[in-house]
Homo-oligomer: A and B are copies of this chain.
Amino acid sequence: MRKIPETLHRQMVARSRLFRVEAIGLRFSNGVEVEYERLMSSTSGAVMVVPMLDDDTVLLIREYAAGTERYELALPKGLAEPGEDILEAANRELQEEAGYGARRLTPIRQLSIAPGYMQHRTHIVLAEDLYPQRLQGDEPEPIEVVPWRLSELPALLALDECSEARSIAALFMVRERLRGGGSEA
């Protein structure tokens, strides 16, 4: 593995209510120097939940997405609150967005979404042994919960409204895991 580039300087160059942009100067091991900009993450962790109602049925949510300006069909997700660990945050988001709590929560892995220019990483958590439990969240309107069968994942991917890369990656990873490794060619 190559040596990580040397950091020559860092500076916060733009910020808004939600976003902070850092400029960073790097010198690579071959001597080449480059200026980058990157989006800094919130200090709390981000979490995405794969809630399994049974061995084949996952709970998706349909929610308005201000970034793409349309309704998106994806997995429940959110940010951890101060003092909350990742599994607690996953269980809270699940109760707020899908109306279920989970007796079993398993961290699957972390995903980055744009590692070239975003610090952001999301913890993917598998939620099993669910029970109905609603917590009030800060959503502007009731969220629609859409059960989907993992065995019908290709039909889900054929829908334009299911476009979010983390959700698609997480659904495949969990299907692989529940099928028992899935390392068959």
Instruction: Spell out A's residues near B (CB within 8 Å).
Output: 1-2, 4-5, 13-19, 21, 23-24, 26, 28-30, 32-34, 36-39, 56, 63-72, 74, 109-122, 140-141, 144, 151-155, 157, 163-166, 168-169, 172-173, 176, 181-185
CB closest chain-B residue, reference A12: B16
23 contacts between A and B (CB under 8 A): A4-B69, A14-B14, A14-B19, A14-B21, A18-B37, A19-B19, A30-B140, A32-B140, A66-B117, A67-B119, A68-B112, A68-B121, A70-B115, A113-B114, A113-B165, A113-B166, A114-B164, A115-B163, A121-B163, A122-B165, A151-B183, A154-B183, A172-B172
A66 and B165 form a contact (CB under 8 A) = no
A64 to B3, CA, bound (A): 10
Question: Besides the contacts A13-B16, A114-B120, what 19 more A-B pairs have beta carbons closer than 8 Å?
Answer: A2-B71, A14-B19, A17-B23, A26-B140, A28-B140, A33-B140, A38-B67, A63-B116, A68-B118, A68-B119, A68-B121, A109-B157, A111-B164, A111-B165, A113-B113, A113-B114, A115-B163, A166-B169, A169-B169
The interface residues of chain B lying within 8 Å CB-to-CB of A111 are 163-165, 168
> Closest approach, in angstroms, between the C-beta of A28 and any C-beta of chain B?
5
A116 and B65 form a contact (CB under 8 A) = yes
Chain A interface main SS type = mixed
CB closest chain-B residue, reference A158: B109
- Which of A21, A69, A122, A165 has the most chain B CB within a 10 Å cutoff? A165
The interface residues of chain B lying within 8 Å CB-to-CB of A36 are 66
